[in-house]
Structures are given as structure tokens and as C-alpha cells.
Structure 1
Amino acid sequence: MDDPGLPLSTRLQDRLHDVIPGGAHTYARGADQYPEGFAPVLTRGQGARVWDVDGNSYVEYGMGLRSVTLGHAYRPVLDAVRSVLDDGLNFSRPTELELHAAEELLDLLPGADMVKFAKNGSDATTAALRLARAATGRDLVAVCEQPFFSVDDWFIATVGMNAGIPAPIAELTVRFRYNDLDSLRSLFEAHPGRLAAVFLEAATALAEPEPGFLEGVRDLCTQHGTVLVFDEIITGFRWSFPGAQELYGVRPDLSCWGKGMGNGFPISALAGRRELMELGGLRTDAARTFLLSTTHGPESVSLAAFRAVLQAYREHDPIGVMETRGRQLADGVNAAADGLGVGEHVRVIGRPSCLVFTTTGPDGQPSQTYRALFLQEMIRRGVLGQSFVISAAHTPEDVEHTIAAAREALVVYGKALESGVEPFLRGRPVAPALRSHADPRRLPS
């Protein structure tokens, strides 16, 4: 039974656990990713601010797991969506809107000739792997040691949270290190003629490509007849317009897109060279590849949102705004940490448009307990986010509010470093999202 003395967010979170495994539809959104008692249930958002069921307002970071680059409820995107609602959304044949959306995306991608739309990034990456295997007749996939590529078995088999996946599936995925061309070269040598595809993000929040690395990956794939796949789910519409391949000047054979494409609306895409993509079409004599076939992939709402996002990027400079605000935020929080003597324990790092913060304990080692404390104290002061991933909707005032909140939170952090975290942290620490067991945040049955 609900305890009326608890905040409504806490009571609703308990009910969410009753009806949704994990209490959220994405593990990264789970209550175990936030300090206990500080996992607000939200009602609405506008720009860079969100409101919870208890009426609290927060400056939000992360912005829909990096999917919202223009801000919540961005008017031109909503207007575009409203313009198609009265005409129906999903039909038994393609629409003219599908054609225009495909042509506009391909106009931005000199290395791609065809595209298929879907609903999430895993649709695109798994389709890319299936296509690469069909095109090459090979079975192995080499993935860079980066956090995440797909919810499907070929990738999840290799992470800690892999119950339910037959062990042999993991044997088909091998790994190489970012900015270590020799580690990839050694995979080609160890598995001659077996690598169907190489997957990587061209860059991450914490790692830029060293000179020659991406070019070297491209050359190795070409030399061995392996399909090169760039995962642009995060880098797209955040690193550059449209993405990292434009910024670094290296063209993959296939590229996967999502998140920022729709400013929060559900849309993803697989784009690539015609001779590969057509294996899933009708202009081929080869055995057909089941590439992508989704009921909701071409629905009108998300395609209209996508075209409006493209227009916003043509008319404005969202990435420039994110870079400017991100630098202001990182500089301000880091200066506050240094001034309070905790700069060695809390640091804002990464690309300005995709910032994260690090938290360490008294021993200088990364600490989930101290991360939970910092999150707790930021939420107390009206800042919500597991990172400092920013959007073009964050105003200078939002950033200053965040810096001020961080300064106060870091005072508490410093006291915890001196006397121990127990008097300051309300509940159990946060835990990695993809861990093998519910502990240390298991809930009673």
C-alpha cells in the first residue's frame, strides 16, 4: 500500500517496479542508476528543464539518453509532427514522405546510396551485421571495446548481463582496442577470412581518434574484404552535421544512425553502399538478406520529426551551441572543484557536447558510492542527470544554475572525503546498469 508520507515519485516508482521489470523500459533509466529516494518520476519537459510528479523542476542533462539535441518540446519539430497527424500515420504502402526523408538523409552522406529506416539503434546495427555476413559469407564480427552496440544477442552475449543467451553466440564476437590498430590487425591474422564486419564508434565522449587510426581501420577492412560499420547513434547530430564520418573524413561501408535524428522521436536508420544494401532489395540475383522489415519504421510522425530536425540543423548551429555551453559548464564545475580542493576527485571531462563527470573516493579510485553522493546532492539542488550531456536548449542561465549547484554539492563531497560518506549518502550506492545480478540494488519481492 502507498505510504502517503513518501514523495509521489517514490510511491510511483514502487508501482513501476510492480508492472515493469526493473521499473523502467531502459536499463539506463532505472532507479538503480540514481540514489535511493532520488529517482524522480517525470511529467513533462520544456527546453532543458523537466518537472516531476511532485512539482519539482530540474535542469536536465543526458536529454533522453542523448537523443534530444534541440531541447524538449522543440516547437518546429512539434509543428511538423502535428502537420501530418490528420492524414494518418501508417499505411500498407510507402508514402511520399518516406522518399523525401530518405533522399534528404542520403544527400548528407556521400558514402551512402541507400537507407532503411527503423525505430532504434539496435535495429540498425543488427541489420548491418546480418548484411555484412550475407555479403561476405563470413561469421565473425570484430567490435571495438566501446560501451554498447546492440540489445541483440550478438553483442549482449559479450557483456555481464547475458543470461538467456547461448554461450556459443559470444564466440562469434571478437574485440579490439580503440586507437590500437595493431589489436585489430591481430584479429585479422588470428581469424583469416572470417571477419564479416568491423564495428566501432569513430569517437566517444572520452576518446578522439589518433592521427591515422580511422584511416588504418578503413584500409584494413578494404584489404581483407571486410565490411566497415560506423555506429553513429551517439555521434550523429552531436559531433558534427550529420556525424563523425563528416568530421573525420573517413567513409564506412555502412553507418547506423538514431538518437538525435528525431530529437526524441523514435527513429533510426541504416545507410550504406548500394551493392551491399541492395542484397535486401529486388535488384539482385543473390540470395536475399532479411535486412529490415518493421511495421513502424516508416510511420509518418517520426519521419516528419526527422525532416524538421534536418531543417533546424541547416538553419541554425545546434552543435556550436552545445560546444560553447559544454565548455562553459566544464570550466565552471572544474574550477569549483579545484577551488574546494576536490579537483582530484570530481572532474568534468569529454567532448563539450557530450560531457561526463568522474567521481573517486579517498583512495583515488572510481567510486559508485561517491558518484551516488554527487548525484544525490545535485538532484537536491535541481539538477538531474547521470552525465553532463548537454543540448542546444541549455541556456547560459541553466549552465550557471548547474555550476552553482555543483559548487554546493562539492562542499558536501569534500566533507565526505574527510569523514566518510555514510553520514551524507541517504541510501545504497548506484550500480552498473548491465551487471550480472540485481545486487547491490536488489529489491524485496
Structure 2
Amino acid sequence: MNGKRPASLAQEHEGRKDIVIFGVTGVTGQIVFEHALSRFNADQIVVAGRSRTKMEQTIKDSVNLHPVYESSVSQVQLVEADVSDHESLVKMCKTAKVVLNCVGPFRFFGEQVVKAAIEAKTHYMDISGEPLYLESIEAEWSEVARREGVWVVGSCAFDSIPNDLGLVNFKKEFPGELTGVESYLSFDSGPSGYVGNDGTWQSAIHGFANQGQLKALRKRQNFDPIRYPGPRLPNRGAYFKDPKLGYCVPFLGSDASVVLRTQRYFAFRDRSDPIRFKPYAVIGSLFSLCLMIIFGGLFSIFARYSTTRSLLKKYPRLFSYGFFSTGGPSRKQMEEASFTLYLRGEGYISSFERDNLNEQNQQQKPTVHATSIFRGPDAGYIGTSIIFLEAALCLLREPDSMPSDGGVYTPGVAFKDTTLIDRLRGSGFQIEVVSDQN
């Protein structure tokens, strides 16, 4: 590790708290705070938001739900900060070693916090699942963050650690040389059902409406093509039926973007073999697939035009067939929900076999198959909060296992040498590799 950066930051961070949670009065921010109380000493936690009164009420509500923390929450520091006030953001960031940003949509409110964190020499993490924001931050701020020795790591939650770091871990545990992975994400809403939060819905609207900006950004960067070993993954179309999981569709979240950035890093910076990757979502029944086609088509049309976009924003429950609402899920719904991510991998017994077969026949099929199963609690809030905080603990407790330079990194790059997978296994997640599951 570069010796100058840790020494200089150690001096900068002297007397600071461990973490500051920005956006604590939001639904996700509050749950992150509650889980932080079980992982950090209360006197090492700072919470930040626009209104001190609202923050005090959030803490009171959290204590009512978790009375065990009543005696310690008085040690939590409160700081007022607003994304429209740069100086307040810098002041907030200087209170801690790491800022955990929970304020979205990140395309509107994220870059301001990144800028303030770098200026304050505070490491930055967020829970964003917005590809345009994530890739823009890497393009605009990576060099500045590197010079300042600051780690900036986005998508450090359900988006996109299970797929991104899960794939890195799968490569280590795969019984051979892994060349390609298809991921299948399945949600279990539990007996009480589930309703997604309005914030996720709003991010999806803006993400779909601004796909052209993402394409333009990638075109300007003019990346060299990645050379993958092994054959291409199959093109499964707009939907298909898996014999074990039911109907599936391409997953339109940030995972494909994040994983691609990680694999590009491995290919060009680490000089290691990248892995092909395609993500899918499990829809299950034919009825659910039909609903998705109808409402997904309506969404794609309405999101293109400003007038109809306003209707999508105003009536999330109507235009999502009840899957999203301004209130989001109840605590009971969160506690009952869970997710399972199947990473289906293919490859060869060894790199020698792979290279030898490919020289003889480029269409030679992989000879080894295995599945990595990644199970966890409610993806949107509980699972996200746990993943986020365990990643923060890795950054704080295992700096020698983090990248040697500051910069903007994906989780798969930032945490590949840390104990994050083991931490998640010890925090209620099941992560295992099963051979011969194709």
C-alpha cells in the first residue's frame, strides 16, 4: 500500500467519528442508522439531514422500535446539512472518516456530496443504483479522489454488492476457470406482500428517460473493447422460461453497468481474465409476466415525455399496479421479505483446457458448471442497510486490503481483498457454491 496516503489521512481523520449517515430522516437512512447502532459505538456515529427537529424525531422513533438503544443514542452527534449548501456538506463530512450517503435520487443530489467529501478528505460510500450517476462520478472525480487519497465507492448495497462482489467471490470459489455468469434475481415478498418505495420509482423514471445521456457518456470515454476468454453467453431475448425458476426477463438495474466497470478494471488494470455477465430477474408466473409487459410498456412510453412523466411521478401506485407507493413497505413487510440471487457460472477445468479447446474450436462449450447462491433479507431496506454497514466496517477496519490509491471504485474492486463476504455470511446472508447446477 502507498505509505503516504494512509499517513496523511490518519492525520486528517484524527479526532473524527467513524461514520456520518447523511439522509437519516429518509426511510432507508433511518434503517441504516438503526443497524449502525448494533455495529458501531453510538459515540462514533454522526447523523445528518436538513432539519434537526426531524432528525430528533427519527432517533426517537428508532428508539421506540429498538428500546435497547435508549441509553446510548444521546451520544449520537447531529449535524444539519443540505445538498444546496456546499459549506454545510463539507462541515458534515469533516465530522467523520466515512460519509454514508442515503440521499437520492443520486443523479440530482449525489455529486454535491462526493465533491464535499473529497474536499474534506472523507471517504465516501452510497447506495445508488443509478448507472448514469455512478459512471459520471467515475469519469469526473476519479483523478481528483486519487490525488486526495479518498476512496469513493458507489452502489455499496443491494445495488450492487451481491452481483458485483458476489461474482468476484464466485470466481475464487468456482471449481475451475470461470468465464461466464448469468445471474437470476428472485424476490420473496412474504405473506404480507410488499410495496416498493417512491424513491426507487423516481430513480427508475429518470434513468429510463435519460438513457441517451448514458450512451453519450460512454461514447465520449471511448473505452477499448474487453477481450473475454470463453464463448459468448446466450442471447435469451426479452423474456424466456427457465425450467427451474419460471419466466425471466433481463434485469434493468445497475448491476450490469457496475459489473462491467469491475471487469474492465480487472482486464486493463489487474491484467486478469474478465468474466462475461448477464443479469436477469425472475418473474415467475405467466400472469406476472403479462402484467409486467403491460405496465412496463406503459412505463416506457410515459417516461419518454415530460408531461406523461409527471403522471408517473404523481401516481406511482397506479402506474406500477401497486408495486410502488409514496409510503413504501411497512416494517412487517420488510421483516418478512427476502431475496435469492443465483449466479450460474460456466467455465473450464483449467486455463490450459480453456485455451487449448478455444484454439481448436472457438465454439467449444464450457466443461464445468456451478451455481453460487446468495440469499438475504429484504433487499430494499434491511439487506441494503446490513450490506452498506458491513462494507463501511471493511473500509474502516481493513484499509490495507483496500485499493492502494484513492479514486472512484466499484464494490467488486474496492472490497475484493477484504473480509466483506465473510462478514455478510456472519450477518444473516447465505453465500455458497453448488457444483453441477446448470
Q: TM-score, normalised by structure 2?
A: 0.29
Output the TM-score relative to the length of structure 1: 0.28
Structure in which a larger fraction of residues adopt helix: 2
Larger Rg: 1
Flag the structure with higher strand content. 2
